[in-house]
Amino acid sequence: MSEQSSAGVNAGDSARITREYFDSLLVELRTIDSVKASTEMELWGETFATPVMVAALSGLNKTRPGGMVDTARGAAAAGAVMWTGIGSEAELEALIATGAKTVKIIKPYADRDLIFRKLEHAEKSGVIAVGMDTDYVFGGKNKRGFAMEYPVSPKTLDDIRSFVRATKLPFILKGILSEQDARKALEVGAGGIVVSHHGGVLDYAVPPLKILPRIVKVIDKKIPVFVDCGITRGMDAFKALALGATAVSVGRAVIAGLSSGGADGVQEVLEDITGELQWAMSLTGSCDTTHIDPEVIWRR
């Protein structure tokens, strides 16, 4: 439900505002004494080739038959973390069977027992983390109150604490876009957060990178801070990491790769983004993903 001008343009389009913010950030060069950067990322005791991950995606069998499994194959081949959202238990098992290290994001279903069952199944299946997209507690922008056919409902801090306690795995809160929610995430013992507006669940949403430095300050390195929304190239990923993100997730750009090239297409998108990220890191004196000086970023 968006307000369109007579020209058909939605001035509050969060995807466009987010893109404009990425493009307003410029990068200085630091080449003397620089080294070829490593893009490796340590996360929860494992090493990944890249901090560029597949976003929590779902329903990709509509993009291409076998699209969910192909996406996981592409992620595994790129040495990237695979995230997934709403989907069946059988589908989650098939994703994990590809060898992709997978994070399962569970919807904020109104039925709490369903949440606990999904948590238990995900943990038993061998995911590396679980979580919830808390920006979906009122449903989608165009289908309010529901995620697919399932009713969703708002969650209190106590509800979330009970989910965190129900699993031994890190529990991620996806859709954090305020310092207030970041503080609450720490308070309940979340294992990480995703700074995100879910691709525009709300018009005029603050661009994740604009609020990221403040959230990073609140989190103070206690848990990983992931970012998604609008990341399509290595420079976007670089800016996010420079501003304090642990890693980034890519949704629609990965879907474009899947659509044109299946698992290979997914791998290629992840590797292209990682390649440009490495180039930017190397040219800014950033030896690895944990050593990027935020001062290399300038506002246009």
Ligand X SMILES: Cc1cc2nc3c(=O)[nH]c(=O)nc-3n(C[C@H](O)[C@H](O)[C@H](O)COP(=O)(O)O)c2cc1C
Residues that bind ligand X (CB under 6 A): 55-59, 85-86, 105, 133, 174, 196, 198-199, 228-231, 250-252, 255
Question: Which residue type sits at 23?
Answer: D
Based on CB atoms, which residue is closest to ligand X, 225 or 296? 225
Partner residues linked to 151 by β-bridges? 146
Q: How far apart are the first and last CA of the chain?
A: 32
Q: Report in angstroms how near the CB of residue 86 gets to ligand X at its nearest.
A: 4
> Are the C-beta atoms of 227 and 248 separated by less than 8 Å?
yes
> Are the C-beta atoms of 103 and 130 separated by less than 8 Å?
yes
Residue nearest to ligand X (CB): 85
In a 3-state reduction of DSSP, which class is residue 268?
A: helix
Partner residues linked to 25 by β-bridges? 299
Based on CB atoms, which residue is closest to ligand X, 59 or 66? 59
Q: Report in angstroms how near the CB of residue 30 gets to ligand X at its nearest.
A: 28
Based on CB atoms, which residue is closest to ligand X, 56 or 245? 56
Residue 153 token pair? 């409902």
Q: Report in angstroms how near the CB of residue 171 gets to ligand X at its nearest.
A: 14
Which position has the token pair 């876009």?
A: 177
Q: Is 197 noted as a catalytic residue in this protein?
A: no
Based on CB atoms, which residue is closest to ligand X, 249 or 289? 249
**In degrees, to the nearest 5, what angle opens at C-alpha 157 toward C-alphas 240 and 151?**
90
Q: How many CA atoms lie within 13 A of 197 on its CB side?
A: 24
Q: Report in angstroms how near the CB of residue 58 gets to ligand X at its nearest.
A: 4
Residue 53 token pair? 């991950």
- Residue positions annotated with a catalytic role: 198
